[in-house]
Chain A
């Protein structure tokens, strides 16, 4: 059984944050509340990244998701006045969707996660080593050799395309 120490305690706090926040996102009637729940859930994710020795990605998660995407979502909610006065939050097949989600989770848990990585499973469920790559190795991976230099540039191209496309779409065409 798990021993209770700071790491496991932090894990459970983050697990509650991310799952609870996720439930809030899909159930809240008010979309701004939904955005706040999304932020809570993403904070839980950032906590996991810290526990998993990837603090750089944790900071990026806060910066990108919480600092930028959440702000963008709130702007969009305001722009489309879609926050309130929506009589029905979910569509008619919502129970079907819930069934699909629950079955998927069951299938993943019973069919994949426990047999393979559970206690006594096929593969080890503890880290193979504590030699963790650092953030500057990430930079070396991107531009140090040929490995990821093409994806690195393509990412830039993708962002440029997304930005131009989004500006074209979002602006008033007649203006």
Chain B
């Protein structure tokens, strides 16, 4: 293994920060959700890199990555369902137009 750990961490941090930018800046709710998926995927790269370099004989790292997959899937399923429901009642998926609390 010739690639040092910091390179993996750097790539994962870069993807995570791009995801943060997307979540904060995009107006379309679906685009925000895609950026969120990017962030979760970056987290997983980070987890697995630490597992491989830190404790490869212990399976725990992969166990946690599996749970991140579950969270990502549940988030996507419910998030997209909420977007569809909001679109049906408000006719828009732009987050600034939709503020259910303010009415």
Q: Which A residues are closer than 8 A to B by beta carbons?
A: 2-3, 5, 7-8, 11, 15, 18-19, 22-23, 25-26, 31, 34-35, 38, 41-42, 45, 48-49, 51-54, 56-57, 60-61, 64-65, 68-69, 72-73, 75-77, 79-80, 82, 86, 88-91, 93-94, 96-98, 100-102, 104-105, 108-109, 113-114, 117-119, 121, 124-133, 137-138, 140-142, 148, 151, 155, 158-159, 161-163, 165-167, 169-170, 172
Residues of B within 8 A of A104 (CB): 16-17, 20
Select one of B15, B24, B82 contacting A18, CB under 8 A.
B15
Determine if B52 and A41 form an interchain contact, defined as CB atoms under 8 angstroms apart. no
Complex-state Cα separation, A82 to B91, whole angstroms: 10
Residues of B within 8 A of A169 (CB): 78, 81-82, 84-85
Complex-state Cα separation, A128 to B26, whole angstroms: 41
Determine if A90 and B85 form an interchain contact, defined as CB atoms under 8 angstroms apart. no
Residues of A within 8 A of B80 (CB): 72-73, 75-76, 166, 170
Determine if A105 and B13 form an interchain contact, defined as CB atoms under 8 angstroms apart. yes
Determine if A65 and B84 form an interchain contact, defined as CB atoms under 8 angstroms apart. no
Shortest Cβ-Cβ A-B pairs, 3 listed: A97-B24, A101-B21, A26-B22
Please classify the interface of chain B as helix (H, G, I), strand (E, B), loop, or mixed, using the class held by over half of its residues.
helix
Contact residues on B (Cβ < 8 Å of other chain), bracket: 35 or more
Determine if B26 and A90 form an interchain contact, defined as CB atoms under 8 angstroms apart. yes
Across the two chains, which residue of chain B brings its CB closest to A168? B81
27 contacts between A and B (CB under 8 A): A25-B22, A26-B31, A34-B34, A48-B49, A65-B72, A69-B73, A73-B33, A73-B80, A76-B80, A82-B93, A86-B28, A91-B25, A101-B18, A109-B13, A113-B9, A113-B10, A117-B4, A127-B1, A130-B56, A133-B62, A137-B59, A138-B62, A151-B63, A155-B70, A159-B74, A163-B77, A166-B80
Complex-state Cα separation, A104 to B57, whole angstroms: 32
Shortest distance between the CB of A103 and any CB in chain B (Å): 9
Shortest distance between the CB of B44 and any CB in chain A (Å): 7
Complex-state Cα separation, A22 to B83, whole angstroms: 22
Select one of A5, A57, A159, A167 contacting B62, CB under 8 A.
A57
Q: B1-55: which have CB < 8 Å to A? A: 1-11, 13-22, 24-31, 33-35, 37-38, 41-42, 44-45, 48-49, 51-55
